[in-house]
Amino acid sequence: MTKLNGLAKHYRVDDGNGFRLAVWDPTDTNGLTVEATMQDLARLTELQEGLYAQDHWSVLLILQGMDTAGKSSTAKYVMSRMDPRSCRVTDFRQPSAEELDHDFLWRTARRLPERGRIGVFNRSYYEEVLVVRVHPDVLGSQHLPPKLVAKTIWTERFEDINAFERHLARNGTLVLKVFLNVSKEEQRRRLLARLDDPGERWRFDPASVTERQRWDDYMTAYEEMIRATATSHAPWYVIPADNRWFAHQAVASVIVDAIEGLGLAIPVLGPELQEQLLSARVRLENE
> What is the set of domains in the chain, with CATH numbers?
2-285 (3.40.50.300)
Q: Each residue's pLDDT tens digit in the chain (287 positions)? A: 344 557 888 899 999 899 999 999 999 998 887 765 556 577 888 899 999 999 999 999 999 999 999 999 999 998 887 888 889 999 999 999 999 999 999 999 999 999 999 999 999 999 999 999 999 999 999 999 999 999 899 999 999 999 999 999 999 999 999 999 999 999 999 999 999 988 888 888 888 899 999 999 999 999 999 999 999 999 999 999 999 999 999 999 999 999 999 988 777 778 887 888 888 888 888 88
Q: How far apart are CA 59 and CA 172, in angstroms?
A: 8
Q: What is the 3-state secondary structure (H, E, C) of the chain?
A: CHHHCCHHHHCEECCCCCCCHHHCCCCCCCCCCCHHHCCCCHHHHHHHHHHHHHCCCEEEEEEECCCCCCHHHHHHHHHCCCCHHHEEEEECCCCCHHHHCCCCCHHHHCCCCCCCCEEEEECCHHHHHCHHHHCHHHHHHHCCCHHHCCCCHHHHHHHHHHHHHHHHHHCCEEEEEEEEECCHHHHHHHHHHHHHCCCCHHHCCHHHHHHHCCHHHHHHHHHHHHHHHCCCCCCEEEEECCCHHHHHHHHHHHHHHHHHCCCCCCCCCCHHHHHHHHHHHHHHHCC
Helix axes 215-229, 153-170, angle to 10 degrees: 50
What is the model's pLDDT at position 81? 77
What is the model's pLDDT at position 189? 96
What is the model's pLDDT at position 1? 38
